[in-house]
Amino acid sequence: MPLIAHLLLLVGMFLAILVLITSSKLNPPAPGRPISYHKFDIAARLTGWIGYTAMALIAAALFILPFRTQNSDMKNSQGHTQIADRAFVEKAIFHNEMMIIDARPESQYVMGHIAHSLNIPYNTSHLDRLLQPFALTEKLLILYCSDSRCNTADILAKRLQDCGCKKIAIYAGGWKDWSRY
C-alpha cells in the first residue's frame, strides 16, 4: 500500500509541476479575438484538467499513506505474518505460554498499559539479556504499541526475530484500541 501511495504522490507532484510550467508559458489571446477559437483556451483547459488530476492523485496518496501495513520481514516460522486482535490478547492474559509486550517507551507505559504486559521499549539496548529470564524464545510474544499507525512494535518484532524468537504476533490496534473499552 505505501508503495502505491508513494507512486501516486510522485505522479501527482510531477503533474502539478507540469501544470506550473505549462501555465506560465501560456499567452492569452489578443484583445477582440474570441477565446474559444484560440490555442490558449484549449491549452488552458488541458492544463486545468491536468491540475485537477494532480490534486486527485495527491489526495489519494495522502489518504492511503496513514494506513499501516506489516513489514514483509516480519514472518513467523510458517512464513506468514501473525496479527492479533483484542479477543486474542484477552485470551493471552490468562495463558502462561503467551507474553504481552509493550514496545512503547517507558514514559508511555507508565501512563497506561495492558494488564500483565512487560515493557520492552523498541529501542532497548540490552535486548539479548532479557531473552533468558523471561523465556522469550519459547513463548508466543504479542507485541503492541500506541495504535495502528505506530511502528515500534514492528521494529521490536524484527529485533526479537534476529535474537531467535520465532513466535511473534502484533496487536495492531495497540493501546488506543485496548483503552477504548
Instruction: Enumerate the domain spans of the chain.
Output: 2-64, 83-179
What is the structure's pLDDT at 75? Answer: 43
Contact criterion met (CB below 8 Å) for 76 and 13 = no
Contact criterion met (CB below 8 Å) for 137 and 99 = no
Contact criterion met (CB below 8 Å) for 102 and 120 = yes
What is the structure's pLDDT at 65? Answer: 62
* Ramachandran category for residue 150: left, alpha or beta (phi over 0 → left; psi -120 to 50 → alpha): beta
What is the structure's pLDDT at 2? Answer: 59
pTM reported for the whole predicted model: 0.56
Query: In this structure, which topology does domain 83-179 adopt according to CATH?
Result: Oxidized Rhodanese; domain 1 (3.40.250)
Residue 69's contacts (CB-CB under 8 Å, 6 or more residues apart) are: 1, 2
Q: What tens-digit pLDDT sequence spans the chain (181 residues)?
A: 556 766 766 777 777 777 666 665 555 656 666 555 555 566 666 666 777 777 777 777 766 665 544 443 344 444 345 888 888 888 888 777 788 999 999 999 999 999 889 999 989 888 888 888 888 888 889 999 998 888 899 999 999 998 888 889 999 899 999 998 7
What is the structure's pLDDT at 105? Answer: 93
What is the structure's pLDDT at 92? Answer: 81
